[in-house]
Amino acid sequence: MNGLYTPMAAAMSNEPRPEGDRIAKLLARAGVASRREIERMIADKRIKIGDELVTTPATFLTSLKGVTVDGKPVSKPERTRLFAFHKPTGQLTAERDFSGRPTIYDALRNALPKDTPRLMPVGRLDMNTEGLLLMTNDGEFKRQMELPSSEIPRTYRARTFGDITQEQLETLIEGVEIEGMRYDRIDANLERSAGANKWIELTLTEGKNREVRRVLEHFGLEVSRLIRTAYGPFHLADLPRGAAEEIRKEDIERFRSSLKDPRK
């Protein structure tokens, strides 16, 4: 039987917290949406347990039996799956865009097998950034991979225009503050140069919004191309632009077991 539990109910009854997890965590693990999206669904009164409306994400359950979203029963969680997608430029990392701009899901319709479950992006790439975008059906795994505390390295290659030296780039190993925003350590290396045109490789673990572009622009560089080549142990390699491939179950399990537990 589902154990329905809320903090208010606990305070009134003095009952200990039962076994189970928050409904947002369980629904994320089942691939319904990310935790944040599920919290919005709850606020919009879209989730029920039986006939009872869920009013808080801090509802603890032992299973998803009887849970519905928009009146539809939630399926049992599938095994965690992870795909590597070579995102082209000109696509939003979003499910839909009300102004009609193309999204990654437009490309994924043709890149994925027909029986692929609903996938969520791990982190984001802005519209003009290309390269490796990981996609998973497991919202809890997505969250774990995005947490700064997991310290997962992301590697980018940037084509820039302007003057920069390796010595200047090495100052980023101590981090940098730009317009009040602090960016943690970045390992940056000048790959090759042809006059004012340069390729720079950067590895970081935070992944703040437009971090690579802002840091390079801070040095007076103009970024004309930005490619994410790796996320943790997963690499873009020679995956064609617009294509996707599934990552082996053994590789997912090996990677997941290496991640830090965010509760510790």
Which positions are catalytic? 126
SS3 (DSSP) at 12: helix
Q: Please, what's the b/e burial string for 158-183 (b: 16 or more CB within 10 A of its CB; e: otherwise)? A: bbbeeebeeeebeebeeebeeeeeeb
**Widest Cα–Cα separation across the chain:** 72
Cβ neighbours for 227, distance < 8 A, ≥ 6 positions apart: 129, 130, 131, 156, 157, 158, 236
Q: Is 21 exposed, middle or buried (0-12, 13-18, 19+ CB in 10 A)?
A: middle
Q: Is 8 exposed, middle or buried (0-12, 13-18, 19+ CB in 10 A)?
A: exposed
Q: Which two tokens stand for residue 244?
A: 């996707």
Q: Which of 251, 241, 236, 248 is nearest to 84 (CA)?
A: 236
| Angle made by CA atoms 122, 125, 128, in degrees to the nearest 5 | 165
At 249, the amino acid letter reads: K
DSSP output for 67-93: EEETTEEPPPPPPP-EEEEEEPTT-BS
Q: Tokens 């839909």 map to which residue? A: 96
